[in-house]
Structure 1
Amino acid sequence: MSLLSHSLSRKRNNFDLVRLVAASAVVYAHSIIVQKPDGHIDFVTAWLGFDYSGSLGVFAFFLLSGLLVTASYERQRSPARYLILRAARIWPAVAVASLFAIFVMGPLLTNLPWRQYFASSATWANLDSFSTVTLGRRILLPGVFSDNPVPDAMFAPLWTLPVEVRYYVVVLVAGMLGLLKSPRGMVVALLIGLAPLLVRPYFAPHFHLAWRHLAPLAQGGYAFHPELVFLSGMLLYALREHVDINGWTATALCAVYLCMRGTPLAHALFYPAFAYGVLWIGTTPLLHRFAPRNDYSFGIYIYGFPVQQTVAHFWPALGHLVALLIATPFVVALAWLSWHGIEKPALDWTRARLARTRVRAQQAAADGMPEPAAR
């Protein structure tokens, strides 16, 4: 047996590889959207007849987040440490990306005079990266990408961050209530976790999509249910000692889906097969040699869209694959800089500070203990 619990250590899994593929899928999907239509459709949509590669990439991210963030809380056993580490993983990269957009991309790409660009309050509003991460405030720069096929959008994929942050809070609340320690408690945690899903459609900017959020996935539609995927990851963590991951089961689930493809059951069968496939790819030793040593996925996710928008700004009529080839080296370079220059240093510094704080607390506790009585 290959239990899921045995693969939660980073040295034993390929989850960074899964995240890298997921981020690349999102970038590929957006290559079709940001350019003028060239007659091509997403290959996942063409093959499945529903959903598309971008949403599957997002689902892979959320499945692993639900699993690994829950595991992180259990390891930390401290709400403060958990929140600090979650913030250190996301906020610094987004804050620097905001600065890069304001002071590098904006001046180079705006159709406004620099004086007008820097005098606009809309420019400086983008310094509020905290609201981008927690509330979904869009990063919009005056005169930038206003004539693109997808006008104005700078970091469109970041709409998922507030959704994920809300579920960090769900994990926090569930952990503080002691619900993460057993499958039975996890059921209560999952019920708590349904609340953000039910209220999200009624808050801007997604009110007009409410019927799609809560309705069954429509033919050709985008799922918009990453919350359910995160909760599935939480449930998998609760059942980690009982979930066996093996290639035969993954093959069988794929075969069942293929046999039922084109039937009303196709949707219901595809997503469990996809989730199990993600777990198999993330845990099989066969792919461990391909797992990257560094996690560039978040940087690719952040910078993919603005770089693609820049290509579309200069060459809107390019075919999406040519545009993707042009954008890729710049996206990879920015992701490399983000990881080595921002993300990893922020995480290392935060972990070191927390470790020192823990050691001092342990020393203080030891110093305050009464000495054992002499015999």
Structure 2
Amino acid sequence: MLNNKIISIVLFSIILIDPLVGNKLLFTWLPQNPEITMLAPCFAAGSLFALLKEKINVNSQLLFSCWVLCLLFKKSSFNFYFLYLAIFFSILFLASLDFMIKIKPSSDISYGLYLWGWPIQQVLAQFFPEYGIKFNQAASIVIAVCFGFASWHLVEKRFIKIGLNFNKNN
């Protein structure tokens, strides 16, 4: 029997390659804007990175290689993939640096970003397809950060406190 991790990897891999297939197999309801079709693969790539994080060693060589691939494939239809791969690994690399690790914000909006990021992207893609992916991503980040912040302060932090109090009483 296949375990959930393997099923997830296969599913996210299918989502990742869908835009490369001439006939769209998934997400047929999305507008025909080629930039919009990259939203699901970007989400799938992030999910794959999370699933395979034990096997991915983010270091300066990997980061450099990603940017070299991005430059080598600049004029190809695969440019989006290499550009986003380079951006993703750049963010991960920067986040792993010592001075970044020492910065500890008081609000943990990570789950809220995860929870709200995808639906916000999809709503913006549906209602504002003419603005393209750069608008979608910039607006999604701003809105998801706001939702994540609200989610942390209005829901998550309160339930964590309730959970801690519950554990103390039992």
Out of 172, 179, 198, the residue aligned to residue 3 of structure 2 is 179
Aligned CA distance change for structure 1 residues 233 and 263 (closer, same or farther; 3 Å): closer
Within-5 A mapping of 1:92-241: 179=3, 186-191=5-10, 201=27, 208-209=29-30, 218=34, 220-225=35-40, 228-237=44-53, 240=54
CA–CA distance in structure 1, aligned partners of residues 14 and 161 of structure 2: 34
Within-5 A mapping of 1:287-366: 287-296=100-109, 298=112, 339-350=152-163, 352-353=165-166, 355=167
CA–CA distance in structure 1, aligned partners of residues 11 and 37 of structure 2: 25
Does the CA-based 8 Å contact 2:12-2:45 persist in structure 1?
no
Q: What is the DSSP-based 3-state SS (H/G/I as helix, E as strand, rest coil) of the residue aligned with 2:83?
A: helix
Out of 47, 57, 60, the residue aligned to residue 247 of structure 1 is 60
Give the TM-score taking structure 2 as reference length: 0.52
CA–CA distance in structure 1, aligned partners of residues 12 and 52 of structure 2: 14
**Once structures 1 and 2 are overlaid, which stretch shifts more, 267-276 or 225-234?**
225-234
Does the CA-based 8 Å contact 2:49-2:56 persist in structure 1?
no
Does the CA-based 8 Å contact 2:12-2:48 persist in structure 1?
no
Which residue does the alignment assign to 2:69?
256
Q: Which runs of structure 1 show a deviation greater than 4 angstroms over 4 or more consecutive aligned residues?
A: 192-200, 334-338
Does the CA-based 8 Å contact 2:70-2:82 persist in structure 1?
yes
Q: Bigger radius of gyration, 1 or 2?
A: 1
Give the TM-score taking structure 1 as reference length: 0.28
Out of 57, 80, 87, the residue aligned to residue 267 of structure 1 is 80
How many percent of aligned residue pairs carry the same amino acid? 13
Aligned CA distance change for structure 1 residues 251 and 336 (closer, same or farther; 3 Å): same
Within-5 A mapping of 1:17-166: none
Deviations 1:287-329 (A, max 9, x none): 2233423224638x69xx9xxxxxxxxxxxxxxxxxx9xxx9x
Aligned CA distance change for structure 1 residues 293 and 193 (closer, same or farther; 3 Å): same
Say what the alpha-carbon RMSD is for the aligned residues: 4.5
CA–CA distance in structure 1, aligned partners of residues 47 and 149 of structure 2: 30
Higher RCO (CA-CA < 8 Å; seq separation 6+): 1
Q: CA deviation at 1:345?
A: 1.2
Q: What is the DSSP-based 3-state SS (H/G/I as helix, E as strand, rest coil) of the residue aligned with 2:106?
A: coil
Q: CA deviation at 1:259?
A: 4.0
CA–CA distance in structure 1, aligned partners of residues 14 and 74 of structure 2: 32
CA–CA distance in structure 2, aligned partners of residues 194 and 260 of structure 1: 21
Aligned CA distance change for structure 1 residues 267 and 339 (closer, same or farther; 3 Å): closer
CA–CA distance in structure 1, aligned partners of residues 3 and 96 of structure 2: 26
Q: CA deviation at 1:232?
A: 0.8
Q: Can you give the 5+ residue segments of structure 1 that lack an aligned partner in the other structure?
A: 1-176, 181-185, 202-206, 306-323, 361-375
Q: CA deviation at 1:341?
A: 4.2
CA–CA distance in structure 2, aligned partners of residues 195 and 232 of structure 1: 11
Deviations 1:154-213 (A, max 9, x none): xxxxxxxxxxxxxxxxxxxxxxx7836xxxxx3344236679999973xxxxx632x75x
Q: Can you give the 5+ residue segments of structure 2 that lack an aligned partner in the other structure?
A: 19-24, 121-138
Q: CA deviation at 1:255?
A: 3.2
